[in-house]
């Protein structure tokens, strides 16, 4: 027989201490909202308006609740079923606000892959920026290599210029020598 398929169903037990702590926490939140002037919960407003309404309605409600408690031993023993949930009517505005959640902020919810892709693009852009500024190790190595190449090219250009000057000097010396020899022959 499969687990959990017997007649009684799954049993759930509630921790009363946890329930009490939760009630105290909710009460503190209500008190804080009241102190701050924020009344987000319409339940608080309904409670306040209910207490200020006519006494006829409140007394009739009390009679109905007393009649229910008076049946059997219920009037003698105070009991509370923590697993019983009261179905409170919800307003459309509350339901829409709860369901939209973070989407109402304006930020779309991205999938993990989309977030990773955006993060990857930001990281590459940041690296390119640092590389352009010369702050990365690779950029420093490239700049050092570039400086070495520039130095070698400058040295090669000086050497070429020196050789060209030397050739011009040799050529001019040869022309002068030739001119002297020609002048001696003419005279």
Q: What is the pLDDT of residues 149-171, one digit of tens each?
A: 999 999 999 999 999 999 999 99
Residue 97 vs residues 32, 73, 92, 103: alpha-carbon distances, Å: 21, 43, 9, 9
Q: What's the CA gap between 12 and 4, in Å, rounded?
A: 12
pTM over 0.85: no
Please provide the average confidence, as pLDDT, over all residues in the chain.
77
Structure tokens at 154: 């400058």
Tell me the pLDDT tens digit for each residue of 75-116: 677 767 777 777 777 777 777 766 555 444 556 788 999 999
Determine the Cα–Cα distance for residues 24 and 18; give it in Å rounded to an integer: 10
Per-residue pLDDT at 119: 95
From the number of C-beta atoms within 10 Å of its C-beta (0-12, 13-18, 19+), residue 61 rates as exposed
Tens of pLDDT, residue by residue over 110-134, are 899 999 999 999 999 999 999 889 8
- Residue-wise pLDDT for 136-148, tens only, equals 899 899 989 999 9
Q: Identify the three-state secondary structure at position 124.
A: helix
* Radius of gyration, CA atoms only, the chain: 47
| Phi-psi sector, 91: left (phi>0), alpha (psi -120 to 50), beta | beta
């Amino acid at each position: 027989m499969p687990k959990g398929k017997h007649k009684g169903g799954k049993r759930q037990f509630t921790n009363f201490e946890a329930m009490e702590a939760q009630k105290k926490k909710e009460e503190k939140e209500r008190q804080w909202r009241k102190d701050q002037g924020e009344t987000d919960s319409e339940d608080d407003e309904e409670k306040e308006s209910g207490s200020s309404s006519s006494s006829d309605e409140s007394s009739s409600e009390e009679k109905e609740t007393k009649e229910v408690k008076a049946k059997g031993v219920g009037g003698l023993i105070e009991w509370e079923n923590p697993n019983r949930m009261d179905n409170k009517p919800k307003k459309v505005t509350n339901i829409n606000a709860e369901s939209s959640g973070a989407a109402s902020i304006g930020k779309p919810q991205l999938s993990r892959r989309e977030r990773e892709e955006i993060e990857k693009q930001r990281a590459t852009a940041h690296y390119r920026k640092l590389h352009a500024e010369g702050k990365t190790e690779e950029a420093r190595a490239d700049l050092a290599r570039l400086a070495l190449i520039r130095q070698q090219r400058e040295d090669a250009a000086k050497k070429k210029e020196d050789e060209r000057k030397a050739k011009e000097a040799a050529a001019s010396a040869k022309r002068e020598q030739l001119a002297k020899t020609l002048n001696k022959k003419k005279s």
